[in-house]
Amino acid sequence: MSKSRSRNRFLNVSLSMVFSLSLAAAALVLISTPPGCEAKSAVTDSVSTQTQDCIDCHSGVTPGIVKDWETSRHSHVTVAEAMTKPAAERRVSADNPPAELRNHVVGCYECHSRNTDKHKDSFDHFGYRINVIVTPSDCATCHPVEVSQYEESKKADAYGNLMENPVYRMLVSTIDGVKKIEGGKIVSGEPSATTLNESCLGCHGTVVTAVGTDTVHSEIGDVIVPKLANWPNQGVGRINPDGSKGACTSCHTRHSFSIEIARKPFTCAQCHLEPDVPAWEVYRESKHGNIFLSKGSTWNMEDVPWVVGKDFQAPTCATCHNSLLVSPDGTVIAQRTHDFGSRLWVRLFGLIYSHPQPKSGNTAVIRNADGLPLPTTFGGGLASQYLIDSSEQASQLNAMETICKSCHSTSWTAGHFAHLDTVTQETDMMTKAATQLVATAWAKGIEDKSNPFDEEIEKMWVEQWLFYANTMRYSAAMTGAPDYEAFKHGWWDMSKNLVHMKDMIDLKSALKEKEEMKPGKQPGGKRK
């Protein structure tokens, strides 16, 4: 056989083998990859094969999620690279992250495949076992310190603090229950799960449970996924299918998980707004808010640690409540914390009066001297055993004052907190006046104390401490929005509300007396 014929025969055999191998490879792809999913280029060489499979499909199915993730630090920095940062700059608090994660960026699979044995929302998805919801317990794989701090906060217990407290739950049900007119009276039913999820529990969090499966019809075929009750929800105290509490995505929104977004007040404004928690409106009108809205687009909202004066020139919510702050020379002003009450000495949110911060994030355990699950009595007495003492108050006040003094003088800072103390005391006095009036209404029998939230005088009483007193305290705390202490849910409304309560008591008392004087009636409105 000639050399030419031998060479040609070799080439034909080789081409045949290559073609056969190509068909085999294609068959494997079709077996492991859902139809309609095409391979996409990786963001970096450090994307795991599992996450790359997710990207290949979801780039076509949910491209917004993928593109959002591609903008994140997670998509560009491996865990090993993050561990090399100096301690003050490090965003990974785990001392020894799992070896299988170290050399990959943090992608879809790295988050959605954690702790599947504990997740009731875990399911098989094209050859992988994954969870629908990524929970704080999953994030703790790399961020255990932050998760541990968060677990100590009132935010982590936000669902239980509301729904496991019979007084607060009655308030929620009174507000959210659908009303009907029966026999000339307003009758309130229990609120639906949807109404709760879209109102109070939108911020406080829901209890998410797996209740079977659903079939999702998509371009790549039918996909079986867990059916979840009370989902979607990003509330701060969400109870997750793995038993953990909270949602890191309340602040670090999916799927960029940006520290910039978390540090900007717009994120906090999703829940902390008027009339009951008017932090956003007060901040927006304050000098600090004015500076942020004017110049904030030029600030460095990403760096860790956050340098006062260099990276930003006025505080946002995160500055005062949880960020790691340093001076331009590197001196630590405040350590990072995800317990958002750890720098607070007084709880301005009146229930019904201001009071020292609770010792535990779980406030549902509190009982006052009257046996009610409230931090104060109606007369203003403190449930002291559940609240921090004066020494701890002084320590936490000092932490906040230190932050203020990184920009303001000692005298300015002292004057500010003196003003806050006065406003807090005076709003408590105005709340006490309203409480005395509602107690008069109950004593006269013109309103029913069994539900203290459903009648007119009672609703005005609630507005006094939940809307007006809170607004004035928040305004004093964030200084520079004086109309919120004057006419915008401030002194004007507090004073007018007391007048209306007194007039309503006089009117209803007169009507009750007139009714009792009708022939055939005994005192109390009963017929002889």
pLDDT at 264: 97
What percent of the residues of the chain are helix, what percent strand, and what percent coil, each to the nearest 5? 45, 10, 40
Contact 61, 220 (CB under 8 A): yes
pLDDT at 518: 83
CA atoms within 13 A on the CB side of 399: 23
Handedness of CA 278, 281, 284, 287 (dihedral sign): negative
Q: What is the DSSP string of 313-378?
A: SS--HHHHHT--EE-TT--EEE---S-TTTT-SEE-S-SSS-EEPBSSS-GGG---TTS-SSSB-T
What is the distance between the alpha carbons of residues 240 and 208, in angstroms, rounded to a whole number? 5
pLDDT at 473: 96
What is the distance between the alpha carbons of residues 438 and 328, in angstroms, rounded to a whole number? 54
CA atoms within 13 A on the CB side of 146: 23
CB atoms within 10 A of CB 151: 19
Q: Running DSSP on this structure, what letter comes out for residue 518?
A: S
CB atoms within 10 A of CB 180: 10
> Which conformational region is residue 156 in: left (phi greater than 0), alpha (psi within -120 to 50 degrees), or beta?
alpha
**Tokens 């020494």 — which residue?**
391
- CA-CA distances (angstroms) from residue 333 to 7, 356, 509? 77, 24, 58
Q: What is the DSSP string of 210-221?
A: EEEEEEEEETTE
What is the distance between the alpha carbons of residues 303 and 306, in angstroms, rounded to a whole number? 6
Task: Output phi, psi for 72, to 5 deg.
Answer: -85, 160
pLDDT at 11: 36
SS3 255: coil
Helix or strand run (H / E) with residue 525: none
Contact 205, 158 (CB under 8 A): yes
Mean pLDDT (10-residue bins), the chain, 528 residues? 42 37 36 61 84 94 96 96 95 94 96 97 96 98 98 97 97 96 93 96 98 88 93 97 98 96 97 96 96 97 97 97 97 97 95 97 97 96 98 98 97 97 98 98 96 97 98 93 94 98 97 86 56
**pTM for this prediction:** 0.89
pLDDT at 21: 35
Q: Which residues of 474-500 are buried (b: 16+ CB within 10 A; e: fewer)?
A: bbbbbbbbeebbeebbbeebbeebbee
What is the distance between the alpha carbons of residues 131 and 392, in angstroms, rounded to a whole number? 41
Report which of 233, 229, 245, 227 is spatially closest to residue 200, judged by C-alpha positions: 233
Q: Which two tokens stand for residue 406?
A: 């990184």
CA atoms within 13 A on the CB side of 412: 9
pLDDT at 217: 87
pLDDT at 35: 61
